[in-house]
Amino acid sequence: MPEITGEHSNSVSSMASSSSGGEELSRNLFKKYELGRLLGCGAFAKVYHARVIRTGQSVAIKAINKQRIVKGNLAANIKREISIMRRLRHPHIVNLHEVLATKTKVYCVMEFAKGGELFAKIAKGRFSEDLSRKYFQQLISAVDYCHSHGVFHRDLKPENLLLDENWDLRITDFGLSAVTGQTRQDGLLHTLCGTPAYVAPEILAKKGYYGAKIDVWSCGVILYVLNAGYLPFNDTNLMAMYRKIYKGEFRCPKWTSPELRRFLTRLLDPNPNTRITVHEILKDPWFKKGYKEIKHPIDKEFEFKESSEEARYFNAFDLISYSSGADLSGLFDYRVNSEMFVSDESPETIIEGLEAVAEEEGMGVAKKGMGVRLHGQNCKYVIMVEINRLTEQLVVVEVKSSGFGRDLWQDKFKLRLNHFVYEPQPQVSGH
């Protein structure tokens, strides 16, 4: 189905299901993952099934070609999607476990959805009302969580809903998603995006829209499809279909219960000002039947690891910050500075020195093991320092920085901490 899009959706999370076969591969990645069959491919990336060597756990790995992303001016899209996915940890959202990088590739390691696409199940026949309600409840639980974190998906459809090994729903493909900070001064989003049959009327009006309201509309279309087995707004003529969407003209099949008819009418209200909200959905009698609220989604630590082309990677530091406002420029910035020096000071003394300079520069500090991560306001730049024991008396200090962080290390930290550098004393021979 064609897509309306002002932003390219070569997403991190798409194709992370088991629905396609293909090329058989078996190779070791970072001495951590064994790559298996090809699940899918696009213009900029390939997605593979993989196995965690240590545990045997299945994952999906998307290998993104850096050069093609940079040439296509799509680095910002990929960075935004990674930034969004790494802060969303919910039982009904595909988890992004970690990001690994070499000079030429970015590898996104994701949860593997064994059950494939929900779309493939609907294609075999409509669901019962109870089963439709179950999946709609899981969908709304995840959408509510996203909205509470300032994230709007903007391309919800059955093709972007996967099923895990327990046949529970997982939202995927955040390639067209937006965050609260992307709104204009009018508080609205303006990018024309989505899939025609699922797009909200206000997007077609091109006057700006609220991300939360268009997600609710798409959820309404999904619920209709689950119950009916076909689309509420459909026409071989695209403009005719848009007219139906704009007017909210649809008919429920005869097997639809009165309660569900009423609920669908509220979801597919063409007026965004009177359309039901997520908060109201959670209170609706039809929706609430058998609903179990997820109060505390599990947060898992997200990791980013940078590697050389020979698959060595540094196990302590992120060029991507753990915070929601991180700058991901390190992903596609080839000018990452890396240097090391030897010191006879203790790791604790070195870290104290780093903290002192960071405090003067107004930087944040995060300690992890024998290392420290220094970041500027809103994590716009990052300096990472890892300390490893060389001998009982000596340590090796490795520093990685990029962007403004490189200049700050050279101009401030390096000058102030120069006395930490170990200089062997010349041997004096006796006569």
The Cα-based distances of 58 to 46, 197, 260 in angstroms read: 17, 33, 38
Distance from C-alpha of 35 to C-alpha of 57, rounded to nearest angstrom:
12
Instruction: Single out the residue in 250, 270, 288 at which a domain terminates.
Output: 288
Residue 424, pLDDT score: 63
Instruction: Single out the residue in 57, 80, 111 at which a domain terminates.
Output: 111
Q: Could you tell me where the DSSP H helices lie in 106-237?
A: 118-122, 129-148, 201-205, 211-228
Confidence label for 320 from pLDDT (cuts 50, 70 and 90):
very low
Which of 119-123, 127-131, 316-320 has maximum average pLDDT? 127-131
Does some domain include residue 238?
yes
Residue 344 exposure: Cα atoms within 13 Å on the Cβ side: 6
Q: Residue 10 above 80 pLDDT?
A: no
Q: Residue 254 above 70 pLDDT?
A: yes
Does some domain include residue 403?
yes
Q: Which two tokens stand for residue 41?
A: 């491919």
Instruction: Single out the residue in 111, 127, 161 at which a domain terminates.
Output: 111
Helix (H) or strand (E) holding 408: helix 404-408
Average pLDDT on 328-354 reads: 75
Direct distance between the N- and C-terminal alpha carbons of the chain, in angstroms, rounded to an integer: 89
Q: Is the domain of 284 the same as that of 210?
A: yes
155 is catalytic: yes
Q: Is the domain of 31 the same as that of 128?
A: no
Q: Which two tokens stand for residue 247?
A: 């007017």
Residue 425, pLDDT score: 54
Confidence label for 278 from pLDDT (cuts 50, 70 and 90):
very high
Higher per-residue confidence, 364 vs 320: 364
Residue 379, pLDDT score: 60
Average pLDDT on 392-402 reads: 81
Average pLDDT on 13-23 reads: 48
Q: Report pLDDT digits (tens) over 35-52.
A: 998 887 776 788 899 999
Q: Is the domain of 100 the same as that of 129?
A: no
Q: Report pLDDT digits (tens) over 52-65.
A: 999 999 999 988 88
Q: Residue 68 above 90 pLDDT?
A: no
Q: Is the domain of 101 the same as that of 126?
A: no
Does some domain include residue 320?
no
Classify residue 297 by its DSSP letter: P
Range of the domain at 282: 117-288
| Residue written as token pair 């070569």 | 10
Q: Could you tell me where the DSSP H helices lie in 156-277?
A: 201-205, 211-228, 238-247, 258-267
Confidence label for 267 from pLDDT (cuts 50, 70 and 90):
very high
Q: How many domains does the chain have?
A: 3
Q: Residue 395 above 60 pLDDT?
A: yes
Which of 73-77, 127-131, 147-151 has maximum average pLDDT? 127-131
Q: Is the domain of 131 the same as that of 187?
A: yes
Q: Residue 399 above 50 pLDDT?
A: yes
Distance from C-alpha of 372 to C-alpha of 385, rounded to nearest angstrom:
5
Average pLDDT on 155-159 reads: 91
Does some domain include residue 312?
no
Percent of the chain as helix, strand, coil, to the nearest 5: 30, 25, 45
Distance from C-alpha of 13 to C-alpha of 426, rounded to nearest angstrom:
58
Q: What is the CATH number of the domain that holds 149?
A: 1.10.510.10
Q: Residue 21 above 50 pLDDT?
A: no
Q: Indicate the range of 183-192, 195-204, 268-277, 361-370 predicted with least confidence.
A: 183-192
Residue 232, pLDDT score: 95
Q: Is the domain of 241 the same as that of 227?
A: yes
Residue 270, pLDDT score: 94
Q: Is the domain of 264 the same as that of 145?
A: yes
Helix (H) or strand (E) holding 339: strand 337-343
Average pLDDT on 180-190 reads: 69
Confidence label for 394 from pLDDT (cuts 50, 70 and 90):
confident
Average pLDDT on 342-358 reads: 89
Q: Indicate the range of 94-108, 304-318, 393-407 predicted with least confidence.
A: 304-318
Residue 44, pLDDT score: 76
Active-site choice (155, 173, 215, 318): 155
Residue 22, pLDDT score: 39
CB neighbour class for 130 (10 Å; exposed up to 12, middle 13-18, buried from 19) = exposed
Q: Is the domain of 126 the same as that of 273?
A: yes
Does some domain include residue 158?
yes
Residue 333, pLDDT score: 55
Residue 431, pLDDT score: 45
pTM: 0.68
CB of 203 closer than 8 Å to CB of 219: no
Q: Which two tokens stand for residue 258?
A: 């009165």
Over the chain, what is the mean pLDDT? 79
Residue 162, pLDDT score: 93
Confidence label for 12 from pLDDT (cuts 50, 70 and 90):
low
Distance from C-alpha of 33 to C-alpha of 195, rounded to nearest angstrom:
34
Q: Which two tokens stand for residue 425?
A: 């004393």
Does some domain include residue 329?
no
Confidence label for 298 from pLDDT (cuts 50, 70 and 90):
low
CB of 16 closer than 8 Å to CB of 112: yes
Confidence label for 343 from pLDDT (cuts 50, 70 and 90):
confident
> How remote is the C-alpha of 94 from its chain's centroid?
9
Distance from C-alpha of 184 to C-alpha of 217, rounded to nearest angstrom:
21
Higher per-residue confidence, 141 vs 381: 141
Q: Is the domain of 161 the same as that of 264?
A: yes
Distance from C-alpha of 123 to C-alpha of 161, rounded to nearest angstrom:
13
Report the share of the chain in percent with pLDDT over 90: 31
Q: Indicate the range of 148-152, 220-224, 253-257 predicted with least confidence.
A: 148-152
Q: Indicate the range of 118-127, 397-406, 422-431 predicted with least confidence.
A: 422-431
